[in-house]
Amino acid sequence: MVWFKEIHVHRRDWILDHFHQLDLLPVEFLVVSLIDLANQKNEALSNDYLIEKSNLSANEIDRTINSLIQKKYLSIRATRKHIEFDISELFLSDFKREIKNGLLESFESEFGRPLSLVELELLNQIINRYDEKLIIYSLRQASVRNKLNMSYIERILQNESSKK
């Protein structure tokens, strides 16, 4: 299970604590918090729900939702039973923002999937310790050997950096 879905994690506290890094407007924080609250309680979400709970106008809710979607913090999916408001990317954006986009894309392309939170954290640590060219070289070496995991890549990095 991903860290932000664990029962002991207070997501709204985390959002508030990272408010300055997330570049959220106060109205966006309010809407995200209401979405998270409704998701936590398994309540049906709609614009009407958000309007009622926030005392914002329909236009303000629409603008805020569009802004959150543009920031890639919110995705909306229609299911057979209801509309799903997903704010998962909000919690992952903190790690993704710190990693250079090209490097993240290289890893996800080689791995053939999005990186997990643990892998993102490890990649962040690797970036802080090693040169980008060496990281790409290590990724390619792991790919050639068909051993695509962060531990193996880190061992290659350690071996290569000790040669210098």
Q: What is the pLDDT of residues 15-71, one digit of tens each?
A: 888 887 788 999 999 999 999 999 989 888 888 999 999 999 999 999 999 999 998
Same domain, 85 and 120: no
User: 33 and 66: one domain?
Assistant: yes
- Give pLDDT tens digits for 94-152: 555 556 657 888 888 899 988 887 888 788 888 878 888 899 999 999 999 999 999 99
Strands (E), 16-157: 75-78, 83-86
Q: Are residues 48 and 79 in the same domain?
A: yes
Q: What does the block give as tokens for 52?
A: 């009622």
Instruction: Choose the final residue of a domain: 92, 123, 140.
Output: 92
- In this structure, are 77 and 119 located in the same domain? no
**Are 106 and 80 in a shared domain?**
no
- Residues 118, 74, single domain; the answer is no
Query: In terms of domains, do 12 and 43 share one?
Result: yes
DSSP 8-state secondary structure symbol assigned to residue 113? S
Which among 91, 129, 96 is positioned nearest to 114, based on CA atoms? 96
Q: Do 21 and 39 sit in the same domain of this protein? A: yes
Q: Which domain does 61 fall in, by range?
A: 3-92
